[in-house]
Amino acid sequence: MIAYVLRRLALAIPTLFGIVVLVFLLLHLAPGSPASAVGSGESGRRVSAAAREEMRRLYGLDRPLPERFARWIGRVARLDLGDSFVDRRPVSARIREALPATLALNGLALFFTLAIGIPIGVAAGGRPEGPFDRTSAIVLFALYSMPVFWAALLLQTLLSVKLGWLPLYGVSSDPPPTGLAGVADRLAHLALPVTCLTYASLAFFARLVRAGVVEARSQDYVTAALARGVSRRGALWRHAFRNALLPLITLLGLLLPGLLSGSVIVERIFAWPGLGRLYFDSILSRDYPVVLGLSLIGAVATLAATLAADLAYAFADPRVREGS
C-alpha cells in the first residue's frame, strides 16, 4: 500500500509541472495583454502607446518568456504567488478573501447533490424501467438541459421579485443581522445560488448512481442475498449500492476540485464574491499572476483529489491495491 501511494505521488509531480507549464504558455501566448485590457473591459478608454509600453515594462512583460516563467516558478517554490496586476495586492490575499464564499456555496451544493442524487439513483435503479425510473429520467433530463443562467433569472424573478421570499443577490443583508438571525440571513442568501448549482449536477449524479445500481442488482450476490431472505430494500442498499459506490468514488474525486473552481455564471448573477468571479475577471483583465495562482491551486486540488480517490478506491477494492 505504501509503495502504491509513493508511486502515485511520484507520478503527480510531473503531471503538476506539465499543467503549470501549459497554463503559463496558454496565458502568455493568448492575444491581449494587461495593458490592452485596462479600464475594466470596454470603458472605451484608449491608453496611449507610451503608457502601454510603460505598463508592459512595469509588469515585466518586456522580458523573454522563459525568464518570466523562471521568475514565477522561483517565487512559487517559495510559496509566493506574486502580486495582482490589477490591485497590486498579494494574489494569496485575494484568493483567501474569495475562498470562503465559494467553499460555502459549492460545499452545500455538493452536499445536496449527494443527498438528493443518491436516493433518487438507487430508487430508480432498483426498478429499472419502472414508473419512478421513467418519471425521474424525464425530470432529471429536463433539469439537466435547463441553462443555469436562465433558471437563475427565473428563480430570482419568482422567489425574490414576485414573492419576496428570498434575497435577490449577495451573501448577506446590509447591515447583516447578528446571532441566529444572521445565520438565517446567510442561509437565505445561499438558497438560490445553491439550488442553481445543485440541480444541474444532480441529474448527472443520480443517473450515474442508477446505472451502477442497475448493473449491480443483476449480479449473483444480490440474487443470493434475496434468496437468503434479505428484504428487497436491504439487498438494494447494503449489497447493490455498496458495489455501485465504487465508480462514485472516482467521480467524487473529480467533483471535489470543483469546490474551489467556483461557477462563473452563478457567481456573477448572484453577485457572489467568490473564486469564479475572481477567475473570470482576472482572465478578462489579463491579470496573469491571479490566473496562474488560481490555476495552480486548481491543479493541485485536482491532483490531490484524484490521488485521494485512487487511494480510497484501493482501500475499498483490494483488487486495485494488489495490482491484479
Give me the residues that bind other proteins (CB under 8 A), please.
Answer: 30-33, 35-52, 54-55, 57-58, 83, 86-89, 97-98, 153, 156-157, 160-161, 164, 167-171, 173-174, 268-271, 273, 277-278, 281, 284-286
Pairwise CA distance, residues 27 & 81, whole Å: 16
User: For the chain, how far is it from start to end, CA to CA, in angstroms?
Assistant: 13
To other proteins, the closest distance from the beta carbon of 167 in angstroms equals: 8
Least gap, CB of 64 to other proteins (angstroms): 19
Nearer to other proteins, 11 or 58 (CB): 58
Buried/exposed code over 199-209 (b: 16+ C-beta within 10 A; e: otherwise): bbbbbebbbbb
Closest approach of other proteins to the CB of residue 160, in Å? 7
Radius of gyration of the CA atoms of the chain, in A? 24
DSSP letter, residue 130: S
| Residues sharing a CB contact under 8 Å with residue 241, sequence separation 6 or more, in sequence order | 118, 122, 209, 212, 213, 216
Residue 92 CB, nearest approach to other proteins (Å): 14
**In the bound complex, what is the minimum distance in angstroms from residue 175's beta carbon to other proteins?**
10
Cβ proximity to other proteins, 32 vs 107, nearer residue: 32
Shorter beta-carbon distance to other proteins: residue 61 or 303:
61
Q: Which is nearer to other proteins, 106 or 285 (CB)?
A: 285
Closest distance to other proteins from the beta carbon of 140 (Å): 28
Long-range contact list for 26-29, CB < 8 A, 24+ apart?
27/288, 27/291, 27/292, 28/65, 28/68, 28/288
* Residue closer to other proteins (CB basis): 265 or 308: 265
Residue 37 or residue 146: which is nearer to other proteins going by CB?
37
Three-class SS of residue 292? helix
- Cell, residue 214: 442497475
Please report where in the chains the cell 507610451 appears, as a residue: 50
